[in-house]
Amino acid sequence: MNHPVIVLVEPQLAENIGMVARAMANFGLSELRLVAPRNGWPKKGAHSAASGATHILDGAKLYDTVRDAIADLHYVFATTARERGQMKRVFGPEPAMAEARRRIGEGQGVGILFGRERTGLENDEVSLADAIVTFPVDPRFSSLNLAQAVLLMAYEWQRHATGGTLPFGGREALPASRETLISFFDYIEGELDAVSHFPEDKRPVMVRNMRDIFHRLALTEQDVRTLRGAIRALAEGRRLRNR
Question: What residue ranges bind a second copy (CB under 8 A)?
Answer: 22-23, 25-28, 51-53, 81-83, 85-90, 92, 94, 132, 134-139, 141-145, 148, 151-152, 155, 158-159, 162, 164-171, 173, 220, 223
Q: Which is nearer to a second copy, 158 or 181 (CB)?
A: 158
CA 32 to chain centre: 21
CB of 125 vs a second copy, minimal distance in Å: 18
Q: Which is nearer to a second copy, 49 or 69 (CB)?
A: 49
Q: Which is nearer to a second copy, 22 or 47 (CB)?
A: 22
Q: Which is nearer to a second copy, 166 or 240 (CB)?
A: 166
CB of 9 vs a second copy, minimal distance in Å: 21
Task: Return all residues near 227 (Cβ < 8 A) that are at least 6 apart.
Answer: 184, 219
In the chain, which ranges are continuous DSSP H helix? 14-26, 46-50, 54-58, 66-69, 93-105, 123-126, 146-162, 178-194, 203-216, 221-242
Q: Which is nearer to a second copy, 192 or 227 (CB)?
A: 227
In angstroms, the CA 149 to CA 218 distance is: 41
Return the bridge partners of 6, or none.
Answer: 32, 112
Q: What three-state secondary structure class fits 113?
A: strand
Nearest 5 degrees, angle CA 74-CA 75-CA 81?
155
CB of 42 vs a second copy, minimal distance in Å: 20
In angstroms, the CA 42 to CA 60 distance is: 10
Radius of gyration of the chain (CA): 30
CB of 156 vs a second copy, minimal distance in Å: 9
CB of 225 vs a second copy, minimal distance in Å: 13
Q: Which is nearer to a second copy, 88 or 203 (CB)?
A: 88
CB of 87 vs a second copy, minimal distance in Å: 5
